[in-house]
Structure 1
Amino acid sequence: MITGERMAAVDENAAALGVSQKQLMESSGNAVARAVREVAEPGSSVAVVAGRGNNGGDAFVAARFLERGYDVTTLLLGRAERIGTEIARENWDALQNAGYETREIADSSEFELPDCDVVVDAMLGTGISGELREPAATAAEAINAADATVVAVDVPSGFDANGGAVADNAVEADRVVTFHDAKPGLAELDCELAVADIGIPAAAERDVGPGDISLARPDGREGRPYVIGGGPYTGAPALAAQAALRAGAELSFVAAPESVAGEIQSYAEDLIVQPYESEILTPDVAEDLLETAAEYDNVVVIGPGLGTDEGTLEAARRFLSGYDGRAVVDADALEVVPEIETDATLVCTPNRGELARMGGPDTDDLAAVADEIEDFAAELGHLVLAKGENDVITDGERTRISRSGTVGMKVGGTGDTLAGIVAALLEGAKPMDAAAAGAHVNGLAGERLAERHEHGFLASELLEELPPTLWGGDDE
């Protein structure tokens, strides 16, 4: 099962692996043509009703495959010059150049469904939800009223591929040809469902890629992560908080002992440091921080630089046990996670050693034991982002592997930048998406630095590389 938005990310990942959208469209259109042949005898008439996106492009390919043996008419909803993607336009042009029967429908008043045995519904794909608007609404009404077998491309128009909702005026399909994997809710429709393998590599779904960054990338400034850290160490919380800012947070707070608050502030004037009267994090302070985090609904980062004093660990236990928001748990705070019960949504970011101490597998090659880490996450009840040469991200049911990064990232502090990135992305993305994208962005930023200094760069230098890695471009 895969949602429409996740499918778009997988498509982008496949393209990065060398399987282009054009190749996938050719495979998708061929699959639709096969489905039509299964429901219609040679010589039957077929009406292809297509939109201006890639869903329509799939149908243009199908029309080309159906030319021999079928009477095919392709109706484009809208003007050809407004087709939305280059590959869809190329396949429309191929129909024109080869003399296929095509019509452009400028508005709903011009729509007239020809008499036909089969209708191919390719008006709207997985990226659209809600009630159908014109001219698709008029077309759907005509399709539903026709005495024809309706074959839908990927999903019926009016079906929400992310949540499974069906619009009141959606197309009522007799058969759905969906691509790569079933979409949520399709199995509940009163129709035949076929899942077509269109040649997407398994790595496009399992390995983190550019599509995952697109899925989790913030549209703009949002979120105010709250970093609880510092005491014995000061650099770690400062790195995490700065990384959150570089990854799109609008403000970044650090709660730290008064004795080190000034030092943490000195790392960057952009941070908002909130000191408390204690040398280390203690249980009574944790109660106050819990109230603050709950009041402002912050995404929390807890752990960087805290130390392992028993009072500090008890404070972490109390905070996480009483918290019900979103939190990235890193470094010293990870030790308490297996022994607590909490309603919080936790993203745990252990390195190899921390993972073993939490009860997970003890190995240098995390990717080789990804299934074991998945089982551990399922038992733990929280999402795990295990950091290593290859990062493993799993919620106990789904597992992803991020292969970005470089040996130079063994330098201290890169785990702190990762925690801050994930916290920023958690503001707008689902935990699995935020963790996967965060791991990949952190690694890619390291790769950018390694092009200039393979082994000698610092974690603080990653900060400058985060914006161009997330949003593209180059700040040099």
Structure 2
Amino acid sequence: MPLPSLFYTAQQVKNGEVTSAQTNSLPMFALMERAGQAVFTVTLAQFPTSQHWLICCGGGNNGGDGYIVANLAKTMGQRVTVWYTSNPDDLSGDALRAYYQWVDKGGEVYPFDDAIPDDVDVIIDGLLGTGLTGDVREPTCELIKTINHSDKPVVAIDVPSGLNANTGAILGQAIRADHTVSFIGMKQGLVTGKAREYAGQLHFAGLGVSETFNEQNRPSVCAIEQRNVQDALPKRAACAHKGSHGKSLLVGGDLGMGGAMLLAAQACARTGSGLTAVALHGSNVMPLLTTIPEVMSMDWQSETARSRIEWCDVIGIGPGLGRDQAGKQWFDAVVHQPLPKVMDADALFFLAQTPVYDDKRIMTPHPAEAARLLGASVEYVEADRFKAIRSLHERFGGVIVLKGAGTLIYDGENMYVCMAGNPGMATGGMGDVLTGVITSLVAQGLELSSAAQVGVWIHSSAADSNAALHGERGLLASDLLPHLRQLVN
């Protein structure tokens, strides 16, 4: 099945799968059998020439799923080795039934070894499920290390063992999976933070009850989809003029940091802002004029620059703003303005010093900036990105964009995640481009939450388009510019 666009907490799925199964008159063991079938199908499709599968089973229902997979694989002629970390005699319910099915058909189980056999082609991870909350304990922790140190591909059942299904954080140790097959409702922790590194390629199996589950449960997170972007971008009237598409003011580009504003200004113009003005350090005016003459550039010390605050429809402030007196003066001049604002970089530095609640603002912090705004550590932010972004909104209001792997957007009511993007984006200037894109979209009339969602998706998709052509390594922020224009059209 294609990946869903709706995500849920682990507790929602745990409770909801029972109700959904009852609604469809299905016993819970039937769901376990379907889950095992889904994992078997994905594994065989991804590794069609594999001959020896190592299936690692824990003491819960994930272990039961593993025994189902073992049975199917053996029936299809695979050589199967099953390791356990919890004595099978301690199993209960459906997991115990799955174990007996395996044993009754001649299957054997073994305590795990400290070395994975050389001829193993693929490992199935059925050690720990979505209910894990504390750090992984021994002996499972040692087995996870052994699996990770091997060069064998891994398929995780529902969630990589050791990964928090709600937050995406690592609980001491976690399986680095190549593929993860999630069931019934995709878990929100699989799509952001460390999970983007540990979950590998995601697969989804609804097990025949996902439609019922979706009807009965409200998602905790929604993915931004291309159709959402297309619906949000306003169609341009045949008789439109440049004033019809908004007036953007960008502020930043202090001495030595003019490149940040060059990137933001080009991104703003290329995504459709009708008129774009830039206030920046006087030494950077000529480089900006030379690079993009369509943008009105002015020394930020001039009266003309200050007058643009009343002229514009939206202000984007922060890229290359600097932390000296000039940057602080501009921040003070903008922070209490009643018009929409987009704040990033050094504007967030000043905001952390003098917190202001504002529902007419979009903030785009990366984890370190978010930590400063919350008076916390980066580790705190990354341990639960959903909690962190809610805390940011509670303290500062508006729409929050928490950047990183699986960028999150929260507007106080709804949570969104961007599934696009790639590691090549971890280079200087990417955030400046995003500021320009979002500012442009607000100028064109998108309400703040929509502008944040559309801007993040366009920005990440532009990076993916360029990486598809040239690879991730060496991707520059300026490489996104031509793709931005394609995507908004």
Aligned pair 1:224/2:224, yes or no? no
**Residue 380 (1) aligns with residue 380 (2):** no
* Equivalent of residue 267 in structure 1, options 265, 273, 291: 291
- Aligned partner of 1:443: which letter? S
Which residue of 2 is the match for residue 466 of structure 1? 484
Cα deviations by residue, 1:115-168 (Å, 9 ceiling, x for unpaired): xxxxxxxxxxxxxxxxxxxxxxxxxxxxxxxxxxxxxxxxxxxxxxxxxxxxxx
Q: Is 1:319 matched with 2:341?
A: no
Q: Judging changes above 3 Å, is the alpha-carbon distance between structure 1 residues 15 and 268 closer, same or farther for their aligned structure 2 residues?
A: same
Flag the 1:18–1:230 CA change in 2: closer, same or farther, 3 A.
Answer: closer
Check whether the contact 2:366–2:404 (CA below 8 A) recurs between aligned residues: yes
Q: How does 1:180-195 map to 2 (within 5 A)?
A: none
Distance 1:237 1:364 in 2: 31
Q: How does 1:284-363 map to 2 (within 5 A)?
A: 289-294=305-310, 296-309=311-324, 311-338=325-352, 339-341=354-356, 345-359=360-374, 362-363=378-379
SS in structure 1 of the partner of residue 247 of structure 2? coil
The answer (yes or no) to whether the contact 1:384–1:395 under 8 Å persists in 2 is yes
Contact 1:223 1:298 in 2 (8 A): yes
- Write the letter of the residue equivalent to 2:336: G
Tell me if structure 1 keeps the 8 A contact 2:399–2:412. Answer: yes
Aligned-pair CA distance for 1:260 = 1.7
| Contact 1:376–1:396 (8 Å) recurs in 2 | no
Q: Quote how far apart the aligned CAs of 1:16 are.
A: 7.6
Separation (CA, whole Å) in 2 of partners of 1:436 and 1:366: 21
Partner of 2:169: none
Offset of residue 247 of structure 1: 1.2
Pair 344,292 (structure 1): closer, same or farther in 2 beyond 3 Å: farther
Asked if 1:416 is matched to 2:466, the reply is: no
**SS of 1:230 mapped into structure 2:** coil
Q: Residue in 1 aligned with 2:415?
A: 399
Give 1:406 shift. Answer: 0.8
C-alpha distance in 2, partners of 1:15/1:350? 31
Higher RCO (Cα < 8 Å, 6 or more apart): 2
CA distance in 2, matches of 1:357, 1:18: 31
Cα deviation, residue 449, structure 1: 0.4
Question: Following superposition of structure 1 onto structure 2, how do residues 11-26 of structure 1 map, counting pairs within 5 Å?
Answer: 17=4
Name the CA distance, whole Å, in 1 between partners of 2:383 and 2:247. 33
Task: Report matched runs for 1:70-469 at 5 Å.
Answer: 199=214, 206-220=222-236, 222-232=245-255, 233-277=257-301, 289-294=305-310, 296-309=311-324, 311-338=325-352, 339-341=354-356, 345-359=360-374, 362-363=378-379, 366=382, 368-427=384-443, 428-454=445-471, 455-469=473-487
* Structure 1 residue 215, shift from structure 2 partner: 3.6
Mapped to 1, the partners of 2:350 and 2:459 lie a distance apart of: 25
Q: CA deviation at 1:290?
A: 5.0
On the 8 A contact 2:5/2:222 being kept in 1, the answer is no
CA distance in structure 1 between the aligned counterparts of 2:477 and 2:219, rounded to whole angstroms: 29
What one-letter code is carried by the residue in structure 2 that aligns with 1:431? Answer: L
Cα root mean square deviation, aligned: 3.0
SS of match in other structure, 2:362: strand
- Which residue identity lines up with residue 463 of structure 1 in the other structure? L
Q: In structure 2, what is the Cα distance between the partners aligned to 1:205 and 1:15?
A: 17
> What letter matches 1:436 in structure 2?
Q
* 1:327-359, Cα deviation, whole Å (9 max, x unpaired): 111111111224244667111111121111111
Shift of 1:322: 3.5
Distance in 1, matches of 2:400 and 2:329, equals 22
Asked if structure 2 preserves the Cα contact closer than 8 Å seen for 1:352 and 1:388, the reply is yes
CA distance in 2, matches of 1:367, 1:418: 24
The answer (yes or no) to whether the contact 1:216–1:425 under 8 Å persists in 2 is no
For residues 385 and 228 of structure 1, the distance between their equivalents in structure 2, rounded to whole angstroms, comes to 19
Distance in 2 (CA, whole Å) between partners of 1:377 and 1:199 is 27
Distance 1:390 1:250 in 2: 30
1:218 and 1:271 mapped to 2: Cα distance? 22
Letter in 1 for 2:452: A
* In 2: Cα distance, 1:464 partner to 1:419 partner: 16
Partner of residue 18, structure 2: none
Report the CA distance shift for 1:341/1:353 in structure 2 as closer, same or farther (over 3 A): closer
Q: Share of identical aligned residues, percent?
A: 26
Give the secondary-structure state (helix, strand or coil) at the position aligned to 1:274.
Answer: strand
| Equivalent residue pairs, number | 273
Distance (Å, rounded) in 2 between the aligned partners of 1:392 and 1:367: 14
Q: Which amino acid aligns with 1:450?
A: A
- Where 1:255 maps in the other structure, the secondary structure is strand
3-state secondary structure, aligned to 2:428 = coil
1:446 Cα deviation from its structure 2 partner: 0.4
Deviation of the 1:457 alpha carbon: 2.4
CA separation of 1:298/1:375 partners in 2, compared to 1, >3 Å: closer, same or farther? Answer: same
8 Å Cα contact 1:226/1:301 also seen in 2: yes
Q: Which runs of 4+ in 1 moved over 3 A?
A: 14-19, 196-205, 287-291, 340-344, 363-368
How far apart are 1:234 and its partner, in Å?
Answer: 0.8
Q: Under a length normalisation based on structure 2, what TM-score does the superposition of the two structures give?
A: 0.51
Q: Equivalences for 1:47-66 in 2 at 5 Å?
A: none
Give 5+ residue unaligned stretches, structure 1.
1-13, 20-195, 278-284, 472-476
Return the TM-score normalized by structure 1: 0.52
Conservation of the 8 A alpha-carbon contact between 2:268 and 2:439: yes
Code of the residue aligned with 1:469 in structure 2: it is: L
Residues 373 and 392, structure 2, Cα contact 8 Å, conserved in 1: no
Distance 1:216 1:306 in 2: 30
SS at 1:439 equivalent: helix
